[in-house]
Amino acid sequence: MTESTRPMRRQDIRRENEKAILLAAEKVFAEAGFGGATMQLIADLAGLPKANLHYYFATKEELYRSVVQNIFEIWLQAANCFDAARGPVDGISSYIDAKMEISRRHPDGSKVWASEVMHGAPVLQDYMESTLREWTDGRVEIIRRWIEEGKMDPVDPRHLLYMLWATTQHYADFGHQIETLNGGKSLSDRQWREAKENIKRVILTGIGAQPA
Amino acid sequence: MTESTRPMRRQDIRRENEKAILLAAEKVFAEAGFGGATMQLIADLAGLPKANLHYYFATKEELYRSVVQNIFEIWLQAANCFDAARGPVDGISSYIDAKMEISRRHPDGSKVWASEVMHGAPVLQDYMESTLREWTDGRVEIIRRWIEEGKMDPVDPRHLLYMLWATTQHYADFGHQIETLNGGKSLSDRQWREAKENIKRVILTGIGAQPA
DNA sequence: TTGCATCCTGACCGTATGGTCAGCTTTCAG
DNA sequence: CTGAAAGCTGACCATACGGTCAGGATGCAA
């Protein structure tokens, strides 16, 4: 760690430990699910004694909640690409890029999020009913406008969004399956690019998207 | 249950109890994950004492394995539509129909399967490396032939398959999210039909599929 | 009717887990 | 320098869980 450096300031200690715990927790929750994860495992992975975890996060639930909220933030940020766009080609392309990047860089987070939703969103139900709903309604409106302006075919905006979420998250959540079918090797840079291009091409063509 | 009927035959008893246990287990595993599920909960839901579960299924792992294998069977069966097809429109349409029907009728099974894969397929790894791989290779070959025959655009067959899996399973695995965004109500017959039609339309158009 | 295999279950057990706490060390403001 | 606040942790606890088992109930073939 930072053994040979000068002693850390309190603030730094707090930040670094919380970060290490959250990172370890994300991995363990992703691999074992909430029920299968143990504080001991997370502690070991973070390189801290278990009691120290409880110093920063009172309960397993609280730690889990923090992890899930982190993911949700990242998830929502990817959405900004959508707003600045002038048309479906631009907006959907960059959204797919962003979400595929998340699937590649934060597969654990993606899995935790998927798990949370699959189990009925016990922790994030309120977020889904407020933040997520507002975000979705906003994008639906944008897509609807694109359709009105003749920039794409009249596809149901909600189902289009579900399709975008599904196809991109699949590469994280079902990454193990994809790897297995890829001869046990994780996708190469090239394969990730192909995956992205394929999704973009099929969807953009599929909705009859017109540039600009 | 069957309180007012005549006593059951042994065979029937065995079959009915195993069925009840598997059904309950599927639901509990789907809702809580493997680690979060308890034999007691499954027993209660099945209306049997916990010890009775261990009479039919020696361990929690064995019960889980049975559940997952059941899903896998259903999953593979949906694949048959693909084979009889004469072209991409026919084959992919019916495959989407079949998989959407599974998502609607067996959402719990779908979730258990998703969970299993997300956690690295600890139980079904061997199946994925044999049965699933063979199945996939076969379909890839079919799609490749369709492309050669000019029946669809040259889309990477594997990524196309992933797209089909992702979009259809999404309606089961993320059903809770979809319901929340649907005003807290589950999708109506009409909405399911729209979802299916949307997926078919976007994908078939997206790959430039030609009838026959 | 009899005997046996199957079916069933309350009570029990060892273990692992989430969580607590008393008391230690370290930082740092005044 | 000093004292209080923040950070840390080994040892401990209560509980819940997966699993066992002895022995009773039930069906069924002969």
Interval B5-49: pLDDT, tens = 445 677 788 999 999 999 999 999 999 999 999 999 999 999 999
Q: Residue A18 is inside which H or E element, if any?
A: helix A10-36
Hey, are the CB atoms on A128 and B180 less than 8 Å from each other? Answer: yes
Chains A, B: CB contacts within 8 A come to 174
Q: For the whole model, what pTM was predicted?
A: 0.93
Whether CB of A117 is under 7 Å from strand D: the answer is no
Amino acid at B99: K
Hey, are the CB atoms on B36 and A32 less than 8 Å from each other? Answer: no
Q: C-alpha angle B205/B210/B211, rounded to 5°?
A: 115
Hey, are the CB atoms on A114 and B205 less than 8 Å from each other? Answer: no
CB contact set of B184 (below 8 Å; sequence gap of 6+): none
Query: What's the CA gap between B29 and B206, in Å, rounded?
Result: 36
- Nucleotide C2 C1' to residue B10 CA (A): 20
Interval B68-101: pLDDT, tens = 999 999 998 888 888 888 999 999 999 999 999 9
Chain A CB contacts of B34 below 8 Å = 33, 35-36
Hey, are the CB atoms on B118 and A111 less than 8 Å from each other? Answer: yes
Rg (CA), chain A: 20
Average pLDDT, chain B: 93
- Nucleotide D22 C1' to residue B59 CA (A): 20
Nucleotides on chain C that have an atom closer than 7 A to a protein CB are: 6-11, 16-21, 26-28
Give the nearest chain B residue to A29 (CA atoms).
B119
CB contact set of A18 (below 8 Å; sequence gap of 6+): A56
Q: Which stretches in chain A have pLDDT values below 70?
A: 1-8, 211-212
What is the per-residue pLDDT for A1? 36
DSSP state of A155: -
What is the per-residue pLDDT for B1? 35
Nucleotides on chain D that have an atom closer than 7 A to a protein CB are: 6-11, 16-21, 26-28
Chain B CB contacts of A177 below 8 Å = 117, 121, 128, 132
- Nucleotide in closest CA–C1' contact with B52: C8
What is the per-residue pLDDT for A10? 76
Specify the residue for token string 């050669």.
B148
Compare CB distances from B33 to A36, A174, A208 and report the shortest one's residue. A36
